[in-house]
Chains A and B, each alone.
Chain A
Amino acid sequence: MSAALGGGLRLPSLAGSNLEITERGSGAPLLFLHSGHPTGRMDPAAEIITKLAQDFRVIVPTHPGFGRDPAPANLTTVDDLAYLYLDLLDAMDLSKVILAGVSFGAWIAAEMAVKSTQRLCALVLGNPVGIKVGGRESRDIVDIYSIFDKQIAELAYADAKLGMPDRTKLSEDELTYMAKSRESTARYGWSPYLHNPKLKGRLHRIRIPTLILYGAADRILAQGYGRAFAAAIPGAQYQEIAEAGHFPHLEQPELFARHLTNFVRECVK
């Protein structure tokens, strides 16, 4: 399901290494960009991917550093990842792509869309990070590196149990991906912390239909953060999802997929 992409595409910025990438389903192309710590690499069998694959050709890359191989040394910023995935769309010669991402992945998606929407037809952002909303002495995004894992789970999930898997039951691979996700999120987002000070002022360039899906129980982001993000993108719609926190695609995969599918109906005609 991924051999053609993994083996065949040489993206210039990958410096010879491969992008780890999975494809499922058929139909209109949907590039799905996964979230960062405390989640990370997207399991291709995850419910959200299964649901989306019923309607779309879902393309799920693993951000460099979050998967098997170390990140190439030249990829150090979210800007680098945005150009990497724009290169990917070029290399695959895709058009009318639905671009979706959650949290850290939504930040990458927004950075792509301000650069070029040429190959895109719609943008769906789940609880995005990436912009500065409050004043210089207020923190928009909880410092996940200064609190305990249990606190992260309580702030990130409507149901904190989902964020606290029994580690004794996780495989060596799963623990390794957890550790890599923690490190790689910092690699790209340590400072300025999980945002680009310039991005908010560039969001006006996004002239394609945009939907912000927002897990209403998110306490990682400051109150009003999602609405502020939506307000900066011309015509963007804002839809809350109940009983979901910072990762609505994991807590309410069916609702997330349904909202996305309904929103992009016009675009995939």
Chain B
Amino acid sequence: MKVFQFTEQPYPQAWDKHNGSLRVNLPNRLLDPHVASDLFHRYYDEWQLADELGLEIMINEHHQTATCMSSACVITLAVLSRITKRARLLVLGYPIANRPDPLRAAEELATIDVISRGRLEMGFVKGVPQEVPIANLNPVFQQERFWEAHDFIMKALSSHDEPFNWESENFHYRHVNIWPRPWQQPHPPVWSTTGSKATAKKLGGYGYTMATLGTGYATRPIYDAYREGYREKFRKEAPASRFAYLGFVAIGHNREEARRLGELVLSYPRSSGIVHPPFRNPPGYLSIGDNVRILKGEGKPRSYTKDGRIVDMGKGSVQDLIDAGVLFCGTPDEVYDQIVDFVQHCGGMGNLLMMGHAGPMSHEDTVNNLTLFSKEVLPRLKEFRQPVPEAAAAE
């Protein structure tokens, strides 16, 4: 199993001044650029440590928010390409449906792959709903635009002989011929995220690595939908390396220390949903059926414990979120057991996307969390025998 260290590069100093919205409309005068600079450098230091500890790296982007200062994922990737040595660099993800220019995206990704000497893992995502009013591209056609941008970027990365033409509903180019071309051939590995079974099945048909976020003990049906799509296309079982899961990790030498870190790392799910409500449901983002349910005042829970209890990620206790498989928290033995138990539930899962830093966690706490995990849990996870093959035969 691979483990990726992930932080959203937050600006927690503004989190108590949100007035109901940490995203989209939180005035940026609440950010002190000097404090932000120190935070960026600190986060890069922690990723360098992750690289040295044998962890892989995951980064992302969000816009106009104190929860995540990374507003252009390629900037973070560019810095990490140069200052890290061995870690895979996963962007999960690049919100390609919110960008008017996929040619630029292809150029950026190819360049990152070359500078990092082939360490890029290329995640394409639809993005959270509150990004829509910022990008201002029509959310009703987001899905179509996502797949068209995907098709374009994949062709741009893997075409090497002559410029090609692209004229479609969304994008218009006459001479596509990117320089440099990517290091990895035919292209860097592709990832995506979903919470829907229909999309999971489609991703299975592509053979891409699929991640789910916060789905806890409701993950299995989504993975099984992927497996179905994979089986139909490739006539074999999907290997564990095709599955990824984002979980929060807080580890300590004793339970008390771990729980203290658990509270800190949960500041992420407890704050990430604080946004002016109309921005959370742009038109066309959810289906008509889901919107009718919202009009009726009915919610749609995402996280469940093993025994079927619904857990609210934004309000649940440390214990609730451990029970839900959303937080892995405790001593090294406990954390290992929780992860293995979760992987068994999934029927195999080869990539743990570990949020090992969040919110106001100090540098010292983050270093301790990453170091203890890497020394005590990571070696055992690398040895762990997945319930299905770890990688496809041809990999």
The chain A residues found within 8 Å of chain B, CB to CB, are 37, 76, 145-148, 167, 170, 172, 175-176, 178-180, 182-187, 190-191
Contact = CB atoms under 8 A, between A and B. Distances in A.
26 contacts: A145-B133, A145-B278, A145-B283, A167-B295, A167-B296, A172-B292, A175-B292, A178-B295, A179-B288, A179-B292, A179-B295, A182-B291, A183-B140, A183-B283, A183-B288, A183-B291, A184-B140, A185-B283, A186-B140, A186-B284, A187-B138, A187-B141, A187-B283, A191-B136, A191-B137, A191-B138
B291 A179 contact: yes
A146 B139 contact: no
A37 B133 CA distance: 17
B276 A180 contact: no
A190 B282 CA distance: 10
A123 to B, nearest CB: 28
Contacts of A175: 292, 295-296
Interface in B287-311: 288, 291-292, 295-297
Nearest to A190: B138
A76 B283 contact: no
B133 A187 contact: no
Given A148-B278, A182-B283, A187-B284, A76 B141 contact: yes
Contacts of A145: 133, 278, 282-283
Contacts of A146: 133, 276, 278-279
Interface of B: 133, 136-141, 169, 276-279, 282-284, 288, 291-292, 295-297
Contacts of B278: 145-148
Given A146-B276, A146-B278, A180 B288 contact: yes
A176 B139 contact: no
Ranked 5 nearest A-B pairs via Cβ: A186-B283, A179-B291, A190-B138, A187-B140, A183-B283
A175 B278 CA distance: 18
Contacts of A185: 283
Residue of B278, B279, B282, B296 with highest tally of chain A CB at under 10 A: B278
A184 B291 CA distance: 13
Nearest to A70: B288
A174 B380 CA distance: 56
B292 A176 contact: yes
Contacts of A178: 295
Contacts of B297: 167
A33 to B, nearest CB: 20
A186 B133 contact: no
A152 B272 CA distance: 26
Contacts of A147: 278
A182 B282 CA distance: 9
B139 A186 contact: yes
Contacts of A167: 295-297
A183 B133 contact: no
Contacts of A184: 140
Contacts of A187: 138, 140-141, 283-284
Contacts of A186: 138-140, 282-284
A150 to B, nearest CB: 11
A230 to B, nearest CB: 29
A117 B169 CA distance: 29
Contacts of B279: 146
Contacts of B282: 145, 186
A170 B169 CA distance: 38
A35 to B, nearest CB: 16
Contact of A176 (B133, B138, B140, B288): B288
A182 B278 CA distance: 12
Contact of B277 (A148, A170, A179, A191): A148
A169 to B, nearest CB: 12
A197 B288 CA distance: 30
A17 to B, nearest CB: 17
Nearest to A65: B140
Contacts of B291: 179, 182-183
B24 to A, nearest CB: 8
B276 A190 contact: no
Contacts of B276: 146
Contacts of B140: 183-184, 186-187, 190
Contacts of B139: 186, 190
A29 to B, nearest CB: 32
Contacts of A170: 295
A8 B279 CA distance: 42
Nearest to B295: A175
Nearest to A76: B141
A39 to B, nearest CB: 15
A76 B139 CA distance: 12
Nearest to A173: B292
Nearest to A176: B292
A128 to B, nearest CB: 21
Nearest to B133: A146
A146 B23 CA distance: 13
A187 B284 CA distance: 8
A1 B206 CA distance: 49
A160 B141 CA distance: 32
Residue of B133, B283, B296 with highest tally of chain A CB at under 10 A: B283
Residue of B137, B284, B297 with highest tally of chain A CB at under 10 A: B284
Nearest to A182: B283
Contacts of B284: 183, 186-187
Nearest to B284: A183
A148 B279 CA distance: 10
Residue of B137, B138, B276 with highest tally of chain A CB at under 10 A: B138
Nearest to A167: B295
